[in-house]
Structure 1
Amino acid sequence: MKCVKPLLLATTIAMSFNNFASDLDKVIDSSKKINQSAMKSQDKIDKIADSMQARLQQFKTLNKEIDGLEVYNQQITKQISNQIIEMDDLNTSMDQVSVIERQITPLMLRMITGLEQFIELDIPFLTQERTERINKLKSMMDKADITSSEKFRRILESYQVEVDYGRTIEAYTQLLTVDGMEREVDYLRIGRLDFIYLTRDGKKAGIWDKETQSFIALPDSNISQISKGLRIARKQLAPNMISLPVQATE
């Protein structure tokens, strides 16, 4: 009977230890759950932090883009303002062009008429070619697909051709009625000073007389100089002095 108390005590201690161990396991399990919960919370916090960082970076990037767009919009606004000014200037210019075009058409017609009259009064060299040039100008004026600037350019070009005739020497062959008979002659034009012909056989020569508006015969003494002038004009002979009669200009 004396051994019952120690045994009871040992049993009590064992039971208490087991209870303690069980409680300890529960505490450990609870601690693990808490740690796991804390880790999950930390993961969530880390993800939220990463998301916030990404959004912050995106926000900064958007701010930079907004700043760039503001600068771009300011520049575009300036360009639009300048374009509006240019459009106003262009509209004004177009109005002026319309006025000028209405004024320049009669001017071009007068220029063509003046050129035609000049050719009629001039010495009769290259008559067909020069007349055709005038006819082309007249026909051109009726065409709507040619701009006024191009028409004006062609008229000025024709004037320039006539100006150039006054400082060039030229020889060409054509038919002419001589002594009542149509014959082939060589024409020699020296600027607008002289317009001379020489028959192909080299026997007859004449010079255009502005007063009578016809050719008058030249003496045979001029034929050699005329022949020389024809060769110079055709670049068959080097330029040299020639002696020819000259009709006084008015």
Structure 2
Amino acid sequence: MKEVLTPARGVIAAALIAGLAMPAVAQSQLRQALETGEQATRRAEQVQEQINQLDDQRSDLVSEFRTLLQRTQAAQLYARQQEKVVESQRRELESLQEQLGRVDEITAQTTPMLLDMIADLEAFVQADLPFRTEDRMERIASLRAAMENAQVPIVEQYRLIIEAYKSEMEYGRTIDTWPEEIDIDGNSVMVDMFLYGRVALVYMSPDRRYAARWDRNEQQWVPVENRFKEDIATAIKVAKGTTTPSVLYAPASKLDVEV
């Protein structure tokens, strides 16, 4: 590194030049003075170096302080935001607790309604055409069992009842046929039952010997005229899918509804 001639060193150099012409005692004193000045210069350089180091440390501390200040401000902002979230969750929790407090009241009001719906459905099945009666009554019995089962939530109870109502509605929009064994004049006869939606319910034996329709007014089976047997046979084939769909004629009785 190139040495820089400081003012102090310049003075020392000038003194050395001048000292060449001085007596020995004076030269000794001058030499001591020069050494002292040199030591002071080195000390000054060391102090300056320490000052430079302290200045660098100060710069680092300022930078670190600014970083910590930014982090602190970000943490405070996040904390304020979280306070709002916690407050929102607290209000929601209070609302849920209030709703839970009304569950018993809602259940107390809903259960009687569901039981009435089952009773109405049972009364409807009993007053309806007597088709698949056993299956339909079993469905109603399962609904009552679900209402008595504490493990079945009220929402599921409601769903089961609605599904039962939908099934009953579907019977009125479709045609259906199924084999069934019935008693005719004391004899067990296998017949084909046929349901025209809810317009009519008829049966006919495969040999066409027996054919009858359910009379709503008399609440019993009434033999049908021979002219309807061919139509019934065609309807049964359509329901079984053994022939193409066509216009069907049903031997139905007049339905009187009291208002």
Q: TM-score, normalised by structure 1?
A: 0.86
Q: Which amino acid in 1 is paired with 2:111?
A: T
| CA 1:28–1:248: 2 relative to 1, 3 Å | farther
Note if 1:48 corresponds to 2:54: yes
RMSD of aligned alpha carbons: 2.2
| CA 1:46–1:202: 2 relative to 1, 3 Å | farther
Distance 2:93 2:196 in 1: 54
Instruction: Trace 1:22-41 onto structure 2 (pairs within 5 A).
Output: 22-41=28-47
Residue aligned with 1:49, SS: helix
Structure 2 unaligned regions, length at least 5: 1-18
Work out whether residues 185 and 199 of structure 1, in 8 Å CA contact, stay in contact via their aligned partners in 2.
yes
In the alignment, which residue of structure 2 is the partner of 1:71?
Answer: 77
Note if 1:121 corresponds to 2:127: yes
In the alignment, which residue of structure 2 is the partner of 1:154?
Answer: 160
Q: Which amino acid in 1 is paired with 2:56?
A: D
Residue aligned with 1:141, SS: helix
Distance 2:93 2:165 in 1: 37
Distance 1:66 1:244 in 2: 86
Note if 1:167 corresponds to 2:173: yes
| CA 1:244–1:19: 2 relative to 1, 3 Å | same
Instruction: Out of 63-72 and 110-119, give the one that drifted further.
Output: 63-72
Distance 2:187 2:211 in 1: 14
Distance 1:204 1:186 in 2: 10
Q: Which amino acid in 2 is paired with 1:95?
A: G
Work out whether residues 108 and 152 of structure 1, in 8 Å CA contact, stay in contact via their aligned partners in 2.
yes
Work out whether residues 199 and 250 of structure 2, in 8 Å CA contact, stay in contact via their aligned partners in 1.
no
Which of 132, 135, 150 matches 2:138? 132
Work out whether residues 196 and 250 of structure 2, in 8 Å CA contact, stay in contact via their aligned partners in 1.
no
Deviation (angstroms), 1:192: 1.0
Structure 1 unaligned regions, length at least 5: 1-12
Deviation (angstroms), 1:26: 3.0
In the alignment, which residue of structure 1 is the partner of 2:202?
Answer: 196
Which of 172, 181, 191 matches 1:185? 191
Distance 2:20 2:211 in 1: 162
Work out whether residues 174 and 185 of structure 1, in 8 Å CA contact, stay in contact via their aligned partners in 2.
yes
Q: Which amino acid in 2 is paired with 1:194?
A: A
Q: Which amino acid in 1 is paired with 2:192?
A: D
Taking only the aligned residue pairs, the percentage that are identical comes to 27
| CA 1:15–1:167: 2 relative to 1, 3 Å | closer
Deviation (angstroms), 1:77: 2.1
Task: State the Cα deviation string for residues 147-181 of structure 1 (Å, max 9, x = none).
Answer: 11111011011011111111111111111112221
Residue aligned with 1:196, SS: strand
In the alignment, which residue of structure 2 is the partner of 1:242?
Answer: 248
Which of 100, 103, 118 matches 1:112? 118
Deviation (angstroms), 1:32: 3.6
Note if 1:211 corresponds to 2:217: yes
Q: Which amino acid in 1 is paired with 2:180?
A: Q
Instruction: Report runs of 4+ in structure 1 exceeding 6 Å deviation.
Output: none
Deviation (angstroms), 1:98: 2.6
In the alignment, which residue of structure 2 is the partner of 1:231?
Answer: 237
Instruction: Out of 230-239 and 105-114, give the one that drifted further.
Output: 230-239
Task: State the Cα deviation string for residues 116-156 of structure 1 (Å, max 9, x = none).
Answer: 12111211111121111111111111222221111101101
Residue aligned with 1:216, SS: strand
Work out whether residues 206 and 218 of structure 1, in 8 Å CA contact, stay in contact via their aligned partners in 2.
yes
